[in-house]
Amino acid sequence: MNLGISAKEFISQVREGSLSVEEFVAKTLDRINQVEGKVHAFITVDKNAIDKAKELDKKIKSKEKVGKCFGLPISVKDNICTAGIRTTCASKMLENFVPPYDATVISKLKSEDAIIIGKVNLDEFAMGSTTEHSYFGPSKNPWNPEYVPGGSSGGSGVSVSALECIVSLGSDTGGSVRSPASFCSVVGLKPTYGLVSRYGLVSYANSIEQIGPIARRVEDIAFILNIIAGKDEHDNTTLDNKNEDYLTGLDSGISGRRIGVISQMIAEGIDDDVFSATNNAIEKLQSLGAECIPVSLDAVEYSVAAYYTIAAAEASSNLARYDNLRYGFDFGLEGYEFNAYVSKVRSNFGQEVTRRMLLGAFVLSAGYYGKYYLKAQKARSMIKSQIDKAFKQVDLLISPTMPILPFKIGEKINDPLKLYLSDINTITANLSGIPAISVPFAFSKSGLPIGIQLLANSLEEKKLLQAAYALQSITRLPEISI
């Protein structure tokens, strides 16, 4: 049995009867047992998965109506609420938290009979780009376990690339779906802000974040997007995508498309292998009929400062609720005064979360709002306006997803600013709300994955996925060996 099949292949095999869901799920659970010691993608594995698989096989056998997913095994980033399954956000603060409800994306997938294999690792509360800031320990890159898998949705990237599931749901605030996608050689999409409901996504930076799918194939991304996208009555920030079908016409190709190469993202300072891979990708796209021209977005210079200002500010507010009084972990309140208790329990936040909370408190504190937060929002508007201008000239934008290669675990953990700067290519899409996708493209000489990022304007996922699909079609990637 080939665990590396795509969702499309899985569904068609189950549908035609040549594959039993139970067998596949059982094999998947075996695989998880086999590799988890090396990669640590999962926080919780759902033992009920096999029962759900059995039920589904029965339904299929008796020709009952079955959802589109036909038992597709998916992993879910542990900051997305799953009813009855512990949701920890990789934090001590939510160590024992079991949500009494499903996130909208989970309800949607469950009603289409997807099977949740388990909850996967992340940087605590989605703050980080390496998954090293997890309370449960880091996840490791399956292509080389001494290296980081990217983050914050590291567990998603790892579980998909290590064949522990077919598809995963992550979340992307500053690149957290695209960075692990790039570092783990899989596909990862950050949808337009508002395309996918955030109801059930534990808030970190709520004006920016989006849930996004990670898969091995672009067509699987489109398949999942069809299920999870759309207006949701539980989330007032969602948009009406008029039931767009992202799968039809996926293979239309990119002939005649104009693609802008973001000059600020292919400049000095990026890794040599990344640089040459990007140029290679541009050539390949041109050979498919696209026209690639340089585009300058000088507002990118402010993007990291703007992003971290806004994200930290929102985080300091979104995480205020974690006082261990309603849910959390065991810690008696006898003998404490209120403020002392709250401060004590919250000392269990990790370093990165603490750092961002302090920064967030600072930029919002009396007198500083205008200097930092307001300016950051201005920078955001400026970026969007330059993006809009660019999209008058081109259909898509392209850049390497990460300016650097995956690095060793522990290498950058004491230099937060340096890490923040490595998000410079991904942050633009988050700040402006436009969709962006990372497509695995190449490997470095040292055997580390390199992803290429494509961006489109708001609600143009269809165009974006077509281009990603085209790029995928001329890319040959090695199989995972772990």
Partner 1 sequence: MVERREIEHLGDLVRIELKDPEKFIKQVEEILNYFDKLDNVQFDSDQTLRKEISMENLRDDIHEPFDNYRKLIAELKKDQNNYTRAPKMI
Partner 2 sequence: MTKIGLEVHCQLTKLESKLFCKCKTNYRTLPPNSNICTICTGLPGSLPMLNRKAVEKATMISLALNCKIPEKISFFRKNYFYPDLPKNFQITQYNAYGPTSIGSDGKIGIEGKEIRIRRIQLEEDPGRLIYEGSSEKTMVTLVDYNRAGTPLVEIVTEPDFETPKQVRIFLNVLADLVENIGISDPYLEGALRVDANISMGEGNRVEIKNVGSFRDVEKALHFEITRQTSLIERNIPVQAETRHWDDARRITVSSRSKEEEQDYRYLPEADIPIIVMNRDSIEYMKKQMPESIVARRERYIQKYDISPQVADVLSSDRFYSDLFEKSHNEKNAKEVANIITTDLMGFADTREKKMELKITAQHVSDLANSIVNNKLTRNSAKIALQEMVKDGKPLADVVAKLDLGHVSDMSSIEKIIDEVFQDELQAVSEAKQNPDTINYLVGKVMRKTKGKADPTVTLDIIRKKLSTQE
Residues known to be catalytic:
77, 152, 176
Residues near partner 1, by CB under 8 A = 83-84, 97-101, 194, 207, 233, 236-237, 239, 301-302, 304-306, 308-309, 316, 320, 323, 325-328, 333, 336-344, 346-347, 349, 354-355, 357-363, 365, 371-372, 375-382, 384-385, 416-417, 420, 432-433
Three-state secondary structure readout of the chain: CCCCCCHHHHHHHHHHCCCCHHHHHHHHHHHHHHHHHHHCCEEEECCCHHHHHHHHHHHHHCCCCCCCCCCCEEEEECCECECCECCCCCCHHHCCCCCCCCCHHHHHHHHCCCEEEEEECCCHHHCCCCCCCCCCCCCCCCCCCCECCCCCCHHHHHHHHCCCCCEEEEEECCCCCHHHHHHHCCEEEECCCCCECCCCECCCCCCCCEEEEEECCHHHHHHHHHHHECCECCECCCCCCCCCCCCCCCCCCCCCCEEEEEHHHCCCCCCHHHHHHHHHHHHHHHHCCCEEEEECCCCHHHHHHHHHHHHHHHHHHHCCCCCCCCCCCCCCCCCCCHHHHHHHHHHHCCHHHHHHHHHHHHHHCCCCCHHHHHHHHHHHHHHHHHHHHHHHHCCEEEEECCCCCCCECCCCCCCHHHHHHCCHHHHHHHHHCCCEEEEEEEECCCCCEEEEEEECCCCCHHHHHHHHHHHHHCCCCCCCCC
Q: Which of 56, 120, 201, 480 binds partner 2 (CB under 8 A)?
A: 201
Q: Does 36 bind partner 2 (CB under 8 A)?
A: no
Q: Does 264 bind partner 2 (CB under 8 A)?
A: no
Least distance from partner 2 to the Cβ atom of residue 236, Å:
6
Which lies closer to partner 1 via its Cβ, residue 275 or residue 420? 420
User: CB under 5 to 8 A by kind: which of partner 2, partner 1, none does 103 bind?
Assistant: partner 2
Nearest to 428 by CA among 472, 397, 469: 397
Q: Write the CB contacts of 410 (distance below 8 Å, at least 6 apart in sequence).
A: 132
Binding range to partner 2, per CB under 8 A, among 47-55, 64-72, 138-146, 192-200: 192-200
Q: Does 413 bind partner 2 (CB under 8 A)?
A: no
Least distance from partner 1 to the Cβ atom of residue 71, Å:
25
Q: Write the CB contacts of 56 (distance below 8 Å, at least 6 apart in sequence).
A: 21, 66, 70, 71, 113, 115
Q: Does 203 bind partner 2 (CB under 8 A)?
A: yes
CB 41 within 8 A of CB 75: yes
Least distance from partner 1 to the Cβ atom of residue 298, Å:
11
User: CB under 5 to 8 A by kind: which of partner 2, partner 1, none does 89 bind?
Assistant: partner 2
CB 467 within 8 A of CB 454: yes
Which lies closer to partner 1 via its Cβ, residue 88 or residue 466? 88
User: CB under 5 to 8 A by kind: which of partner 1, partner 2, none does 81 bind?
Assistant: partner 2
Place of tokens 């001494």: 146
Which lies closer to partner 1 via its Cβ, residue 15 or residue 234? 234
Q: Which of 47, 65, 242, 326 binds partner 2 (CB under 8 A)?
A: 326
Least distance from partner 2 to the Cβ atom of residue 81, Å:
4
Q: Which of 20, 75, 87, 324 binds partner 2 (CB under 8 A)?
A: 87
Q: Which of 18, 62, 287, 339 binds partner 2 (CB under 8 A)?
A: 339
Q: Given phi > 0 = left and psi -120 to 50 = alpha, else beta, which region is 169? A: beta
Least distance from partner 1 to the Cβ atom of residue 309, Å:
6
Q: Does 237 bind partner 2 (CB under 8 A)?
A: yes
Which lies closer to partner 2 via its Cβ, residue 16 or residue 337? 337
Which lies closer to partner 2 via its Cβ, residue 25 or residue 201? 201
Which lies closer to partner 2 via its Cβ, residue 294 or residue 335? 335
- The rounded Cα 179 to chain-centroid distance in angstroms is 8
Q: Does 109 bind partner 2 (CB under 8 A)?
A: no
Which lies closer to partner 1 via its Cβ, residue 347 or residue 481? 347
User: CB under 5 to 8 A by kind: which of partner 1, partner 2, none does 432 bind?
Assistant: partner 1
Structure tokens at 62: 């008796």
Q: Which of 199, 246, 349, 441 binds partner 2 (CB under 8 A)?
A: 199
User: CB under 5 to 8 A by kind: which of partner 2, partner 1, none does 369 bind?
Assistant: partner 2
Which lies closer to partner 1 via its Cβ, residue 15 or residue 418? 418
Q: Does 371 bind partner 2 (CB under 8 A)?
A: no
Least distance from partner 1 to the Cβ atom of residue 144, Å:
28
Q: Which residues bind partner 2 (CB under 8 A)?
A: 80-81, 87, 89, 94, 97, 99-101, 103, 198-203, 206-207, 233-237, 313-314, 316-317, 320-321, 323, 325-327, 333-335, 337-339, 342, 361, 364-366, 369, 373
